[in-house]
Amino acid sequence: MKIRITTNERLMLIIGVAAVVIAISLGYPAFVAGLLIASIISLALQRWQATAVAGLDNIPPRKAFNIYFGRSLIRSLLALALLALARYGGIEFLLGTLLGLVLQVLAYMAEAIIMIIVRKEG
């Protein structure tokens, strides 16, 4: 089975690596630990959520929506639980975990900015 890496996942990786380099250079290893753990979990949950819409062509739209929404709700609850647990690791670990969880949103924003810049130039 070949795993395809999307543009969004590449941007997540670039932003994550930049954050790791900055945090290590500033001396925040707990931030890096939180970032790495949350990034892996966030990516796994993102892929799990995406599988909810793969191959749902043969079911009614309402049922497909319910499956996707259910997974979105579970994903959000798991993210909140992860943040609640991360607070026991200290503020640096908590902030790293938070960044790891919102990395996908930052990557989507970066992708949108890139699209805007390319359109202005083209």
pLDDT in tens, 34-82: 999 999 999 999 888 888 777 667 788 888 888 889 999 999 999 999 9
Beta carbons of 33 and 52 less than 8 angstroms apart:
no
Single out the residue of 79, 87, 91, 111 nearest to residue 14, CA to CA: 111
Please report the pLDDT score of residue 25 as a whole number.
Answer: 98
Q: Are 68 and 52 in contact (CB under 8 A)?
A: yes
**Domain coordinates of the chain in residue numbers?**
7-121
